[in-house]
Amino acid sequence: MKAGLLLALSIPFCVSALAPAHADDWRSKYSTGKKGEDFEACCGIKDCRTAESLGYPRMERHADGSYDVKVGKHWLRYDFPAVYPSEDKNAWVCYMETYAEPVPLCLFLPPGVS
């Protein structure tokens, strides 16, 4: 019983992968861009938070187009091509909550931010 519980707690959980996509959830049409995998959606509204709701986390852009974003005490790396222009002019930080540390999915930035 304990082994099954530990396994269940250690698996990253993407809420919107289990729930039907909302018709207005434009984020699900984008890929996390992970190499060697078939299309993996950036999840959806339950896995994405606006930069405003996160208290405008610190973001660092690198020359290769990737970003590091500080979420809580963790730095998350968003590599190209998982960085996209936002369709609603908000900055969105998408990640899966886990019991260890968050797993980055996609980063959406407003037009003009690069």
pTM more than 0.85: no
Return the pLDDT at 27: 82
**Phi (first) and psi of residue 37, to 5 degrees:** -125, 155
Query: Poorest-confidence range of 14-23, 26-35, 42-51, 70-79?
Result: 14-23
Decide if pLDDT at 40 tops 90: no
Predicted confidence (pLDDT) per residue in 58-100, tens digit: 999 999 989 999 999 999 999 877 898 998 889 999 998 888 8
Residue 35 has pLDDT above 70, yes or no: no
